[in-house]
Structure 1
Amino acid sequence: MADNNPFPGENNTGHIWDDNLRELDNPPPRWWMIAFWASILWVVGYAILYPMIPGLTGYTKGIMGWTQIGEYREGLDEVEMVRAEFETQLQGMTAKEILANEGLSSYTIASAKVLFGDNCAACHGSNGQGGPGYPVIADDDWLYGGAVETIEQTITNGRMGIMPAHAKLLSEAEVDKLAAAVMSGNPAAEPLYMEKACFACHGPDASGMQALGSANLTDAVWRFSEADQLASVKQTIRHGVNDTSDPLSREAVMPKFGDRLSAGEIKKLAVYVYKLGGGQ
């Protein structure tokens, strides 16, 4: 930095670098100063109109009385006004009637998405794809049937099917034969299927009974899907499902929501789940 100013008459600070780099002492442009003072005035005006300045016991409220919660409630009231027309119609309709009305069906699906996320997605996945040990509800395979009325009943009252444990009734060789028959997709062809009365729950053709909630053993859709599916089938045959007499029995319980959700919310969920993969 030079000690002497080699640029006489120039409005600089006298700080010179590398012979010609210097710091000028000119005022800011007028437009910049106008914007600067305008921003100060804007802050003052904002502080007068809206909540802003904190204090020891609170904050300035502003002369407009605006609050975030107030704006939220106003927005919520607007949403409720839009929804009111649809909600009024839904009150007097069954889930099946809602499905028959394209407009109401679309509205119900949109409004039930949050309900599904809050109450169902933890077990069945965000899109009904199922989670480990929990059934898929986005396909057309239903233990109790996929009619919307049945789905509504399931959500309301829950489900808990029972598969008796057979570890004490079957030899290991018999378990192996039955498991292999189930994996083949045609367990009814195995003589043991009839001899051990498997047909009593799963039907003479092994396609299941919706009245009992017994699984279809011919479609290769697994309630308990695991890497070693044959071993999984053997586990189920040996120890059953929800059999309290066997500590190794699988647990498969659909909780009831009739005491948690309103009838209207359950109806919406039934429509939503049906649209994911309902069917007869």
Structure 2
Amino acid sequence: MSDKHVDELSGVETTGHEWDGIRELNNPMPRWWVWTFYATILWAVGYAIAYPSIPMIRDTTKGLLGFSSRAELKQDIDQASLAQTKFRDLVAAKTVQEIDADQDLREFAIAGGASAFKVNCAPCHGSGATGGPGFPNLNDDDWLWGGDLNAIQQTIAHGIRFDADTDTHISEMPAFRDILEPTQVREVAAYVWSLTNAPRDPAMADAGKQVFLDNCVACHGEDAKGKPDMGAPNLADAIWLKGKGEDAIARQIVEPKHGVMPAWSARLGDTTVKELTVFVHSLGGGK
């Protein structure tokens, strides 16, 4: 006599498990599901044989097909590099003006320049090229050494006050501590600030205009809009690199700060410098 229990309502044998009077029916799995399960096991075995999958002590099994994701990635990179060779050769052979005039070549140069910028220039100028205290914003129209393609290329290639490059930009604002009286420093600072903002003392700003004409126009010009060929900034555009306000201007007059930018030509090569030039020019501030 069988001791197995059969459910009275369904007529199906139970498994013998019971929870609070509830018994589990011993229904068989659907045949299609069982065969699918067996198929997945066979697939897994076949996959483990065909592809690298089983970890060993120092490595993994290589698989009969010899597949390698690293080798596949390297092949993709090599193909991409080969496709880029034609464009890079054209960039190397053409001037920045010719590159900028060719739409396809310009797009390629901007993409390459953007990549090079993130690696080499973003630490100082920021990932968005907006600069920061002491580091110029490359998106605006304020260019110390000129914002056309040739000027940008020269600056990137040879740097600013970079002693290791004989063609680097060189200019230094003299310290006026021993040239101007303290009152004159405050006056000319007030005048410079008054070009774009309301000074604290209009009378002092008026007096500072003459101090400016006597001491500053040689570099900054009579209109105070600067001279790019000398690296003298425009003082009438409300863009301040070393700090804004009359006190900050006075400190710069008395003890000027001079930034240094490395020359990138020797490190990156002329082709990448051209790509950077086109990219920076494309940000919107280039002239």
TM range (shorter): 0.7 to 0.9
Q: Deviations over 1:154-176 (max 9, x none)?
A: 11110134222223333332221
Question: What residue in structure 1 maps to residue 46 of structure 2?
Answer: 45
Kept after mapping to 2: 8 A contact 1:13/1:23: yes
Question: What residue in structure 1 maps to residue 167 of structure 2?
Answer: none
Deviation at 1:89, TM superposition (A): 2.2
Deviation at 1:6, TM superposition (A): 8.3
Deviation at 1:111, TM superposition (A): 2.2
What pairs with 1:150-165 in structure 2 (closer than 5 Å)?
A: 150-160=151-161, 161-165=171-175
Deviation at 1:62, TM superposition (A): 0.9
Question: What residue in structure 1 maps to residue 241 of structure 2?
Answer: 223
| Aligned pairs, number | 264
Deviation at 1:18, TM superposition (A): 4.4
Counterpart CA distance in 1 for 2:58 and 2:145 is 61
Distance verdict in 2 for CA 1:13–1:153, change over 3 Å: same
Question: What residue in structure 2 maps to residue 247 of structure 1?
Answer: none
Question: What residue in structure 1 maps to residue 229 of structure 2?
Answer: 211
Please say if 1:232 is aligned against 2:251.
no
Show structure 1 runs of 5+ residues with no match.
Answer: 243-251
Question: What residue in structure 2 maps to residue 97 of structure 1?
Answer: 98
Counterpart CA distance in 2 for 1:36 and 1:167 is 87
Please say if 1:176 is aligned against 2:194.
no
Kept after mapping to 1: 8 A contact 2:53/2:63: yes
Structure 1 runs (4+) deviating above 6 angstroms are 186-189
Deviation at 1:80, TM superposition (A): 2.2
Counterpart CA distance in 1 for 2:67 and 2:116 is 31
Counterpart CA distance in 2 for 1:211 and 1:157 is 15
Please say if 1:241 is aligned against 2:251.
no
TM-score (norm 2): 0.84
Q: Deviations over 1:78-122 (max 9, x none)?
A: 212332332232221011110011111112112222111001111
Match among 194, 210, 213 for residue 213 of structure 2: 194
Deviation at 1:278, TM superposition (A): 4.4
Show structure 2 runs of 5+ residues with no match.
Answer: 162-170, 197-204
Kept after mapping to 1: 8 A contact 2:88/2:271: no
Question: What residue in structure 1 maps to residue 283 of structure 2?
Answer: 276
Distance verdict in 2 for CA 1:11–1:168, change over 3 Å: farther
Matched to 1:78, the amino acid is: Q
TM-score (norm 1): 0.86
Counterpart CA distance in 2 for 1:84 and 1:258 is 20
Distance verdict in 2 for CA 1:208–1:65, change over 3 Å: same
Counterpart CA distance in 2 for 1:60 and 1:230 is 72
What pairs with 1:40-189 in structure 2 (closer than 5 Å)?
A: 40-160=41-161, 161-185=171-195
Q: Deviations over 1:25-70 (max 9, x none)?
A: 2232222222221221111111111111121232211111111221
Counterpart CA distance in 2 for 1:110 and 1:62 is 39
Q: Deviations over 1:215-263 (max 9, x none)?
A: 111111111245xx32221221121123xxxxxxxxx111111221011
Question: What residue in structure 2 maps to residue 264 of structure 1?
Answer: 271
Counterpart CA distance in 2 for 1:22 and 1:129 is 72
Distance verdict in 2 for CA 1:28–1:231, change over 3 Å: farther
Please say if 1:14 is aligned against 2:16.
yes
Counterpart CA distance in 1 for 2:128 and 2:98 is 24
Counterpart CA distance in 1 for 2:264 and 2:115 is 15
Q: Deviations over 1:142-161 (max 9, x none)?
A: 01101111111111110134
3-state SS in 2 of match to 1:220: coil
Matched to 1:81, the amino acid is: L
